[in-house]
Amino acid sequence: MSLAHNRFTRPVVIGLCGLAGVLVTALYGYLGLNNPLIGFLSDDALYLLMADIYSARQPLELPVYEHIARFTQLPPMFPLVLSMSGAGSENLWPARLVVAVSMGLSNLLFYIWQRQLDTPRGEAFLLVLLVSIHPISLIYVTDLWSEPLYACFVWLSLIALHTGSRSQGSRIVLFAAGTAIACALMTRTIGVALVPAAAYLVWRTRLSSGALAVGAGFILALLVLVPLDLGGEGESYSRLLLNQYTHDPIATLWSQLTVISGSAWHALGYVLFLWRDYSLLQQLVLVAFLGLVVSGLIELSRARQHHVVIYLLAYSAIFAIWPFPAIADRLIFGILPLLLYTAFRGMTFVTGRLAIRPRIAGTGFIIAVTLLASPAITACAARLMRDTPPPELSAFRTSRYWIDPTRADVSESGFRYMLGVVSASRDIGNHVPEADCIYTMLPQMVLFNAKRQAWLPPTELPDGGSAELDCRYFYLTATPLRGKPAFYPYELIEEHTETVALYQQAGTQDSGSSRRPVTGLLVRYRTAP
């Protein structure tokens, strides 16, 4: 009777789980496909322009493409996948689909990896469900970023490493692991954290042939992918880190750790629960969560999953020295499922000492995290079901600026300003010759929409217009950016410029142009005779 029952229920359960996965992936697709905004997050614009270069579907004779090929520092795998899907700067929907499918696939691989580690089906499914519908996942899936694809390669690497160390056909599987690790590294540079994890696993299992297999897969993949790395004269990440820590490395490292610890603390609360300002109780919750993560690392080590521990520690070490605290939430999001699983294992480890059944403790942990995240989940769902007030702002309905409840302070005028920036950056191409370049605090926006070379303004401007600048044009924005005041550096160059175009905020039908705030200014710099 029991056997017959299992034969009947198991396919039903698998079918329902598969249906849930399809529905969640469809939700990802809906959120992405209905968001046409590109350029505000910098990397998204560069990824699509790189996809143009790889696909050769655009008129690549434009100088902007040579500019991208010479100076980009982004790894090639994600734009390569975008180009293979047919995506590019003039065709966004395949790129959105790639992100949605990658996010859905990473959820599936996360489940498979958990089952490899003997996580019960119920708890494994609940953890995947929590990650799938978590507000931070819904926010990130609206953006054209490489994290979902990176997650796929990480899970494939961990699955292959685990399987290869135990299977008879380990060399084939470990070859696949080496390939997946190389692909992860060429998707996001922080994927280098997988290398010591693989090295340790091969060393521990004394798989000499396995070491050759991992190395062969890794090297072969790199031989294919490295020639696609467009960066020539641009500052690579390794060079950036070297320059950062060359002068007085101890003091620099101490300063970096001081800054990143605060950024990471706030980013952790945001990624887990969309918290911005913490109460004492919320801080205690985060301390408890980190305590469970540490306990989980101990438990994973006891379970001989040292390669997982090494990956997390190596990832955290790179995170700690990375001199861009502003993207701390993005880096934490990249390991969110692994952090939740590690804390889950930590809960079962700690409660096991109290004679509490592991399944009860694990399920209780998932329920507790879900309850803590439920206000964010509810708020996010409520904003998704609300339309933006005017129809002309509907593009923002599935953007992070709308569905993120912590951004509720973004007003209608703020959305109109962003639309004005998009419209202005597209118009710039009508005034600036193809061979010319532009100084602006929004270089990626200009690169993408105007198809013109763009740079941040120089740190030192020539006095009195007496010297030549590399670029003759400045696009000045009405909001402070990168620590600079609005319309920077207009005050420094005003006497030596002529206005080319004045851009105003998009307005309602009954508002006159004279009442609309200025969003940007395009000026031409005149060198003194």
Annotate 368-391 with DSSP letters as a single string.
HHHHHHHHHHHHHHHHHTSPPSSG
Question: Mean pLDDT score of the chain, rounded to an integer?
Answer: 84
The pLDDT assigned to 106 comes to: 96
Q: What is the largest CA-CA distance in the chain?
A: 97
User: For 89-98, 143-152, 281-290, 453-462, which range has the lowest pLDDT when averaged over its residues?
Assistant: 453-462
* Cis preceding linkage at 337, omega within 30: no
Amino acid at 3: L
At 378-423, the pLDDT tens digits run 998 888 887 776 777 777 888 888 888 888 767 777 888 888 888 8
* pLDDT reported for residue 209: 64
Alpha helices in 328-411 (DSSP H): 328-333, 336-352, 358-384, 400-403
Among 24, 40, 29, smallest CA distance to 93 is for 29
Instruction: Encode pLDDT of 194-233 as tens digits.
Output: 999 988 887 877 666 667 677 777 777 776 666 666 656 5
> How confident is the model at residue 250, as a pLDDT?
87
- Read off the pLDDT of each residue in 436-464 and give the average, rounded to a whole number: 86
Provide the token pair at 298.
Answer: 């101990």
- Exposed, middle or buried: residue 163 (CB in 10 Å: 0-12, 13-18, 19+)? middle
**pLDDT above 60 for 515:** yes
Q: What burial class does residue 366 get, using C-beta atoms within 10 Å of its C-beta: 0-12 exposed, 13-18 middle, 19+ buried? A: buried
Model pTM above 0.85 = yes
pLDDT above 80: residue 140? yes
Least confident of 249-253, 356-360, 418-422, 470-474: 356-360
The reported pLDDT for the residue numbered 323 is: 85
Q: Which of 403, 404, 490 lies closest to 441 in space, CA to CA?
A: 490
Collect all residues with Cβ–Cβ distance below 8 Å to 134 and sequence separation of at least 6: 336, 373, 377
296: pLDDT strictly greater than 60? yes
- Residue 4 pLDDT > 60: no
- The whole-number average pLDDT for the span 336-357 is 87
Among 347, 277, 337, 281, which residue's Cα sits nearest to residue 312? Answer: 337
- Three-state secondary structure call for residue 436: coil
In the predicted model, is pLDDT for residue 520 greater than 80? yes
Q: What is the pLDDT of residues 355-378, one digit of tens each?
A: 677 778 888 999 999 999 999 999
Does residue 388 come out as left (phi exceeding 0), alpha (psi in the -120 to 50 range) or beta? beta
Distance CA 526, CA 496 (A): 5
What's the confidence (pLDDT) of residue 463? Answer: 59
Averaged pLDDT, 428-447 = 92
pLDDT at 54: 87
Q: Does an H or E element contain 195, and which?
A: helix 194-205
Closest CA to 396 of 37, 44, 27: 37
* Cα separations in angstroms, 255 against 13, 241, 316, 323, 426: 52, 14, 17, 10, 40
How far, in Å, CA of 364 to CA of 358, rounded?
Answer: 10
- What pLDDT score does 1 carry? 44
Query: Which pLDDT value is given to residue 357?
Result: 78
pLDDT for 438 equals 94
The CB density around residue 285, as the number of other CB atoms within 10 Å, is 19
Give the Cα separation of 409 and 389 in Å (integer): 14
Domains of the chain, residue spans: 2-380, 419-525
pLDDT score at 278: 86
Dihedral angle over CA of 278, 283, 285, 287, nearest 10: 150
Q: Give the per-residue pLDDT at 79.
A: 94
- Of residues 330 and 204, the one with the higher pLDDT is 330
Percent of the chain past pLDDT 90, that is, above it, reads 41
Q: How far, in Å, are 141, 305, 312, 381 from residue 296 at the CA level? A: 28, 11, 11, 31
CA 181 to CA 338: how far, in whole Å? 17
> Which of the two residues, 60 and 123, has the higher pLDDT score?
123
Q: Do residues 359 and 366 touch, judged by C-beta distance below 8 A?
A: no
pLDDT > 60? residue 8: no
The pLDDT of residue 187 is 93
Q: Which residues pair with 182 in a beta bridge?
A: none
Contact 471, 461 (CB under 8 A): no
Secondary element (H or E) of residue 24: helix 2-33
Report the percent of the chain where pLDDT is more than 70: 87
**Averaged over 146-161, what is the pLDDT?**
95
**pLDDT attached to residue 509:** 46
- At 512, the pLDDT band (50, 70, 90 cuts) reads low
